[in-house]
Amino acid sequence: MTKVQPRRPGADASRDEILAEVLERIDASAAIRMSREALQSELGGLVAEILLERRIVLGQREQQELTKKLVDEMVGFGPLEPLLSDDAVTDIMVNGPDRIYVEKAGKLSLTDIQFRNNAHVMNVAQRIVSRVGRRIDESVPLVDARLPDGSRVNIIAPPLALDGTSISIRKFSTKKITLDVMVRTKNISPAMCTVLKVAAASRLNILISGGTGSGKTTLLNAMSRMIDVGERIVTIEDAAELQLQQPHVVRLETRPPNIEGRGEITMRDLVKNSRRMRPDRIILGEIRSAEAIDMLQAMNTGHDGSLSTIHANSSREALIRLENMVAMGGHSLSERSMRTQIANAIDMIVQVERMRDGIRRIVQISEVVGLEGDVILMQDLFTYEYGGAVVDGRLVGEFRYSGLRPTFLKEAAYFGLDRALLSALNEAAA
């Protein structure tokens, strides 16, 4: 009689059949309510039992890895879990079941991680959005959401995504990035650091401009640390990702329409409502549309010290985009009236750029100094100039001070910060 030899497949080959067996034997609703550690412990014994019954031989480490993957499938985000736990990964991009890219140190690379098929990708996408009360399917194929840790997620499904569901994740950084840290990593110069600290503490209205993935939100978080702990702050976002450290913060988030197309709460709705909440500062995660006029009006009616970001490739382009967004609100303002509102509301524009070496740098700090005719006047305080050479993977360049005297010196003096500001600028000019 031939003796049956035990099988020894890899953990990945066993996972699907063992997962199906586990789901038959365990109360899934109870499992979801368990902590991750308790569930992993519970499944460990069950996996060992199933392996023995099926005459599958796996080493202890392989069993532990298999159990962890089963937990990831049941209560986590499947193949994405190891990428989410990798602190070096800043962005995750799923272009299909077998094309998962990550960004590390500003560079994109293809991983060897895979989903089983398109249905598996869709299943994980649905798990992500269901946790924030949203849905993703053919009737609602485009969704913004966030993970429990605050990471920002965009999902687009068929029929809009032709090659299967696409998931883009901007990971929530556990590192507390400050302006001083940005000096050490050479994202800004010491003098620029002081100027930004003084500008934020002096309650200037500041617009942070840059392209996708340039570090706008990171800079906004860093500058927000200069806000006094006694101030009441209202934050408004499409998907909450700001990390304010102050105790008196009210966080607001938009809501998409339900399946009947009702119940939508837009950024504009929240900006209007925030003005009735007695905020000392309003922080708008990103100006995207018609809410621009309401934000400008808030800045012009006592809510100084407000912060926001905008997608633009230069400080001047940021102002042009603001004009276009105000026009989207349906207001019949003359061109001069519109620009007067902008010039009176915005004090400073900070331009951020992710450069070709993968390093994010502040390339321009500009003040809005007034209106001459129909032209908004600006002056650059700092710019970044590079020679195009690369040494050790980094661009060679320098942050340059223009030598101009800041127009917000009066505001800095009011808060007792004028000496620190002038000292930093004198050192930069030397």
pLDDT of 28-64, one tens digit each?
666 666 777 777 777 777 777 777 777 777 777 777 7
Q: For tokens 């102050």, name the residue.
A: 246
Asked if residue 396 lies in contact with residue 387, where contact means CB atoms within 8 angstroms, the answer is yes
pLDDT for position 2: 46
3-state secondary structure of 341: helix
pLDDT for position 251: 92
Asked if residue 314 lies in contact with residue 174, where contact means CB atoms within 8 angstroms, the answer is no
In DSSP terms, 376 is beta-bridged to 371
**Residue 91 CB coordination number (10 Å):** 18
pLDDT for position 329: 73
pLDDT for position 8: 47
pLDDT for position 13: 46
DSSP-derived letter for residue 173 is: P
The list of the chain residues with pLDDT below 50 reads 1-13
- What is d(CA 310, CA 316) in angstroms, rounded to the nearest whole number? 12
Total residues found in the chain within this entry: 430
DSSP-derived letter for residue 80 is: G
Kindly report the pTM of this predicted structure. 0.78
3-state secondary structure of 92: strand
pLDDT digits (tens, 9 = 90+) for 203-237: 999 999 999 889 899 999 999 999 999 999 999 98
- What is d(CA 129, CA 64) in angstroms, rounded to the nearest whole number? 29
H runs (alpha helix) in 76-167: 81-84, 118-130
CA-based angle 128:308:228, to the nearest 5? Answer: 105
Asked if residue 408 lies in contact with residue 367, where contact means CB atoms within 8 angstroms, the answer is yes
Q: For the packed helices 291-299 and 315-328, what is the interaxial angle rounded to 10 degrees?
A: 110
